[in-house]
Amino acid sequence: MFEAKKFDSIRELDGISEKTQNDHYKLYEGYVKKANEIIEKLKTVDLASGNQIYSELRELKVELSFALGGVKNHEIFFGHLGGTGGEPSGALAEAIEKDFGSFKNFQTDMKQTGISARGWVWLAYDYDTKTLFNYLGDSQNTFAVWNAIPLIALDTYEHAYWADYGTVRASYIDAFFKNLDWDVIEEKFGRVLAKSAA
């Protein structure tokens, strides 16, 4: 079962209000609650009634993927906010330079992908190609790139920015970058590289 984690970023940030962060966190808690509820229901579902058009098993499994996506995406999102922005260093900076040409190119690509997304953008490392890429997802459960791990999660659903920016998503994405904690992201990337080398 899942438990809602606590995050230091649930507070007033540079360009993202405390109200937005608190309301956003409540949505995350809802994903945790629903994921647990679905897991419980799956324990007693009639497996023999499974059907690809409609069945309780199908509905529970599909909605579990959405709820779990909501849990895990938000844990990445809240987990790397609360920093002072800037640029990464070390191996992550080198990988961004290699795969995007420059940090500015990466940032522009992620921002424009965020303008194009209906739900999420992830900077992820692909273990097969050993490269970084900004993936777009229109829903909590549409990150379908197997054997890749997200390092950054940018929530582009309206609830992440509407109270602060209305329709001006680009300004929210600028604020998102100003609040990234690159130490958290670099630490995760270090673990990813160690696994990739194993």
Residue 144: pLDDT band by 50, 70, 90 thresholds?
Answer: low
- 15-23 long-range contacts (CB < 8 A, ≥24 apart) are 15/164, 15/171, 15/172, 15/174, 15/175, 15/178, 15/179, 16/81, 16/161, 16/164, 16/172, 16/175, 16/176, 16/179, 17/163, 17/164, 19/163, 20/160, 20/161, 20/163, 20/164, 23/159, 23/163
Q: What pTM value is reported for the model? A: 0.96
CATH code of the region 90-197: 3.55.40.20
> Where do the structural domains in the chain lie, given as residue ranges?
18-79, 90-197
Residue 143, pLDDT above cutoff 80: no
For the stretch 3-40, pLDDT in tens is: 999 999 999 999 999 999 999 999 999 999 999 999 99
For the stretch 42-52, pLDDT in tens is: 999 999 999 99
Mean pLDDT along residues 95-118: 98
